[in-house]
Amino acid sequence: MTGTSRNVAVRSLAAASLVAFAALLGGCWTTKVYREPGASSEAPSKPRPGVTTTVRRGDTLFSIASRNGVRQQDLAAWNGIAPPYTIYPGQKLRLYPAGKGGSTTATRPSTTTTTTKPAATTPAAPTPAPKPAAPAASDIKWRWPADGELIGRYVAGEPTKQGVDIAGASGAPVRAAADGVVVYSGSGLVGYGELIIIKHNEQWLSAYGHNRNRLVNEGQLVRSGQQIAEMGRSGAPREMLHFEVRYNGKPVDPLIYLPKR
What's the pTM value of the predicted model, to 2 decimals? 0.58
| Residues 73 and 168 both lie in one domain | no
Q: Indicate whether 137 belongs to any domain.
A: no
For the chain, the C-alpha Rg in angstroms (whole number) is 24
- The rounded distance, in Å, linking the Cα atoms of 5 and 7 is 5
CA–CA gap between residue 73 and residue 82 (Å, rounded): 10
- 71 occurs within a structural domain: yes
Domains of the chain: total: 2
Q: How far apart are CA 55 and CA 91, in angstroms?
A: 5
User: pLDDT of 10-60, one tens digit each?
Assistant: 344 444 433 333 343 333 333 333 344 434 445 678 888 889 998 888 888
Q: Is residue 131 part of a domain?
A: no
CA distance 109 to 232: 55
CATH number at residue 155: 2.70.70.10
Q: Is residue 52 part of a domain?
A: yes
CA atoms of 117 and 221, how far apart (whole Å): 70
**Are 159 and 241 found together in one domain?**
yes
Name the residue range of residue 30's domain: 17-102
CATH number at residue 44: 3.10.350.10
The answer to whether 203 and 195 are in contact (CB under 8 A) is no
The reply to whether omega before 84 is within 30° of 0 (cis) is yes
Rounded mean pLDDT, 104-121: 48
